Amino acid sequence: MPSLTRAEAAERAATIDVESYEIDLDLTDPAGSFLSRTTVRFTATPGSSTFADLEPAELVAATLNGSPIDPATLADKRLPLTGLAAANELVVEARMRYSNDCEGLHRYVDPSDKRTYLYANLFLDAARKVFACFDQPDLKAPYTLRVTAAPEWTVAANGEVARSADGRWEFVQTAPLATYFVSLLAGPYHVARDEHAGLPLAIYARQSLAEHLDAEAAELFEITKQCLDRYAELFEIPYPFGHYQQAFVPEFNAGAMENPGLVTFRDEFIYESAVTDSERAMRANVIAHEMAHMWFGDLVTMTWWDDLWLNESFAEYMGSRITAEATRFSGAWTSFAVGRKSWGLRADQRPSTHPVAPSRVDDTELALLNFDGISYAKGACVLKQLVAFLGDEAFLSGVNAHFGAHRFGNATLADLLDALTTASGRDLSAWAEAWLRTAQVNVLRTEVSLADDGTYAEVAVVQTAHEQYPVLRPHRLALGVYDRAADGTVGRRELIEVDLPAGVERTVLPELTGAPAADLLLLNDGDLGYAKIRLDDASLANVPMMLPLLGDSLARAVIWSAIIDAVKDGERPVAELVTLVLAALPMETEVVVVEDVLAMTRNLVDRYATPETRPAALELLAQACDRLLTVAEAGGSQQLAAARALIASTVDTARIRGWLSDEGAPEGLAVDAELRWLILYRLVKLGAAAEAEIEAEYARDRTATGERFSLRCRAALPTAEAKAAAWHKIIADADGTSARMAEAAAAGFWQPEQTALTDPYVARYFAEMPEMFRVRGGIGAEVISISLYPSFAVAESTRDLAAGLLAEPDLNATLRRTVIDSDDDMRKALLARG
């Protein structure tokens, strides 16, 4: 499959300029496809040639400047256009396929009421699956969309509705958009409307979610307005796209997509069961993230995919910042520190690590490969460092100048750095080289020596680098000095600003020489820095006592992250972490810290503990959850988080089975649809519930969520038949099983308790995954390949199979990356077990 190269895109951009698109879609065709008629007007170098992108089921007809184009010339999803005039009109009529992998025009039938829903998601290069186009980010143009749909349907698009009657919809022409931002939804969607300072707002979801959407609408609109107001304070250009619609759509393959005027989100964000406050905070963060893209990405678009990271780093940084500054979720940076950031750190330490800003991305397939924890989370950390270096005023002034200079156009990293340099008066080239152009992460360690009288003789911060990436970066962060008072309380004596110069290994902190030794020196207090943090020995020894007493949740998050990172590296045993969780976590008050620490510990127990030591570790985790349940407020987030984690760790099947019939459940805990599924999933894994119970639960909860849970439960059944059926759906049934359904089955397939049963599938993974990538594509295939990796088959023989697959020269690039990274995780697990 040809993927557009950087060189081809540059050549096409030099040849043509797109003036406008008119797209007319007929969604009433009963044949299971839709009709697409596109008129593209563009100028060109007279006499030149180029091509349009198009992936139809059938190309019906095409004309260029009135002359027919032979449909047979369409090859490799490209329609050649020759003999171009100065001004051109291309008209293409085609029959197109619906998708079931969220790339193109996705079609979904709701299991609860059999209603059909459509939405378009054209990221990264799926526009050609909906209309004929010049699909690259720097050929922006205004769009006029017309749609014919069933009369009872609602249709929405980037632009506002110009007129609609009897199923015929026409939308006002949009501002210039990149092809990958064109979007629409069509179906019997439920809608809630509002407005803010004259800006029309709308929220969409399926009919079967109407009651839940109505329950959530007040919070969703409130967050939206708070974020809009905050962006209006920070950015000089007002929101540029006419109206702000947010659609919660089924089977979405990411968190959300920033289509101008019509943001699409996964509809798991319209909650059907109880959720924790941290889940609400994460949803607010996604709303703020997508809104940041309206300026960064949508108004000013990257010239080529080289700078995709910049879109995402900026939106990720702004997402946490605006959530913390403008909404009730003021702990957004704690959530970032304990969750998103560890995603970035993990990606950065893998063999596949790459610089935040790749020097060049040669084609669209490689662009998708960089769409990872480095582009999002590490990039956001690097921007945090940038703001610390420049100061907020200079940062925002540079960003605003950048928006002003390139509004509705395209720009590159160099353009942004120029604007920031002008705004701050500081040369950023050395900083950019160290932080953006080199991969991997530094380790920062506090080193302490004491004088005879117990004061500090010297405190230093030592920076080291990975041997393959020997760069010592400039860091600006802080060190917290904490003491425990006689009454048992803990206070911060001092917060010392630490500036580590580039290239310097050891930096002494003179402020502390002669100062009384503290109980805890917390390097990177406040989490401004991006590095692996290691505490001095005395501080580390005091962690179990100090951790629960620290009042600042961000400080606790930094400590938990450092401890977990050391376990991941094999420097400390997983048993020590489990002991710390039992001692310190039950006192934790920030729910996201509870959730993420339990999840990360659980993941390490499943892979790093041996079959002999794992049961005891799980028992301690279950005890920690029980202690949390004892102290948690009835009906609160902490209680829900503890209950979910307890269900996932306990082997006391009678106890959690009782909860299904309301026996013995903690007071105030709503055993709702989701909790029931989590209990059933655990029972199934342990062999304590069979298929009939899954069937009965799905009859009780016949929703999209219920369907996914039932697939996951079925895949987790400890029988050879269940494993064979799940495997078939995931690998071979791409038409009948959507990407999201396959993902649900993949999530339940491997279980640490079932290794004997699943052993034959270890070799099959490596043998059959290349075929899965031929029948499924894009993000869906990537997610499945990661989730289906035999991570619990921790053995040298699994590594040998991985090496065998990696030796294949023509291996799909995405699959290659999954195997390299997952194999590296296994190498670490073997070391930890060894």
Residue 142 CB, shortest distance to Zn ion, in Å, is 23
Q: SS3 for 30?
A: coil
Nearest to 323 by CA among 278, 374, 356: 278
Candidate list 22, 290, 365, 595, residue with the active-site label: 290
Of 310-318, 386-394, 445-453, 558-566, the window that binds Zn ion (rule: CB under 5 A) is 310-318
Closest approach of Cβ 45 to Zn ion, in Å? 35
* Cα gap 813→790, rounded to integer Å: 19
**Interacting positions 790-819 with Zn ion (CB under 5 A):** none
Size of the site for Zn ion (CB under 5 A): 2
**Measured CA angle at 689 (ends 645, 727), to 5 deg:** 85
258 or 590: CB nearest Zn ion: 258
The span from the CA of 673 to the CA of 652, in Å, is 21
CB 748 within 8 A of CB 681: yes
Nearer to Zn ion, 247 or 461 (CB): 247
Angle at 819 between CA 815 and CA 822, to 5 degrees: 135
The interface region with Zn ion, picked from 307-315, 362-370, 667-675, 697-705 by CB under 5 A, is: 307-315
Could you tell me the smallest distance in angstroms from the CB atom of residue 413 to Zn ion? 17
Q: Which residues contact 752 (CB under 8 A, 6 or more apart)?
A: 606, 611, 614, 792
The stretch among 313-321, 323-331, 458-466, 788-796 that binds Zn ion (CB under 5 A) is 313-321
Nearer to Zn ion, 316 or 697 (CB): 316
Cβ-based nearer residue to Zn ion, 279 or 312 = 312
Q: How far is the CB of 258 from Zn ion (least distance, A)?
A: 6
Q: Which stretch binds Zn ion (CB under 5 A): 308-316, 575-583, 650-658, 792-800?
A: 308-316
Q: Which stretch binds Zn ion (CB under 5 A): 306-314, 550-558, 609-617, 739-747?
A: 306-314
Q: Does 302 bind Zn ion (CB under 5 A)?
A: no
List the beta strands (DSSP E) in 524-665.
532-534
Q: Would you call 316 a catalytic residue per the annotation?
A: no
Stretch that binds Zn ion, among 96-104, 277-285, 309-317, 406-414 (CB under 5 A): 309-317
18 or 299: CB nearest Zn ion: 299
Q: For Zn ion, what does the binding mask look like between residues 319 and 358, x meaning CB under 5 A?
A: ----------------------------------------
Q: Which CB atom, from 312 or from 596, has the smaller least distance to Zn ion? A: 312
- Dihedral angle over CA of 454, 456, 461, 467, nearest 10: -50
Alpha carbon distance 246, 233 (integer Å): 22
- Would you state the structure tokens that stand for residue 496, as one six-digit string? 């010392």
Output b/e per residue, 768-780; b: 16+ Cβ within 10 A.
Answer: bbeebbeebbbbb
How buried is 756 (Cβ within 10 angstroms: 0-12 exposed, 13-18 middle, 19+ buried)?
A: exposed
DSSP 52: E
Draw the binding track, 199-238, toward Zn ion (x: CB under 5 A; -: no contact). Answer: ----------------------------------------
* Chain centre to alpha carbon of residue 131: 27
Judge whether 285 and 325 are in contact, CB under 8 Å.
no
Interacting positions 68-97 with Zn ion (CB under 5 A): none
Would you call 504 helix, strand, or coil by DSSP?
Answer: coil
* Among 153, 176, 183, CA closest to 246: 183
When asked if residue 185 is in the footprint of Zn ion (CB under 5 A), the reply is: no
How many of the other CB atoms lie within 10 Å of CB of 220? 22
Nearest to 750 by CA among 767, 764, 771: 764
Give the shortest CB-291-to-Zn ion separation in angstroms: 10
Min dist. Cβ of residue 370 to Zn ion (A): 13
In degrees and rounded to multiples of 5, residue 161 shows phi and psi of -70, 125
Shortest distance in whole angstroms from residue 125 CB to Zn ion:
17
Q: Quick check: 401 and 300 in contact, CB under 8 A? A: no
315 binds Zn ion (CB under 5 A): yes
- Tell me the CA end-to-end span of the chain in Å, nearest whole number: 43
- Choose between 285 and 385: whose C-beta lies nearer to Zn ion: 285
Q: Which is nearer to Zn ion, 317 or 389 (CB)?
A: 317
CB of 289 to Zn ion, least distance (A): 6
Residue (242 or 255) nearer to Zn ion, CB: 255
Site string for Zn ion, 254-293 (x = CB under 5 A): ----------------------------------------
Residue nearest to Zn ion (CB): 315
Q: Residue 245: helix, strand or coil by DSSP?
A: strand
Residue 157 CB, nearest approach to Zn ion (Å): 20
Instruction: Tell me the C-alpha distance between 335 and 320, whole Å.
Output: 9
Residues with catalytic function: 290
Q: Which residues bind Zn ion (CB under 5 A)?
A: 312, 315
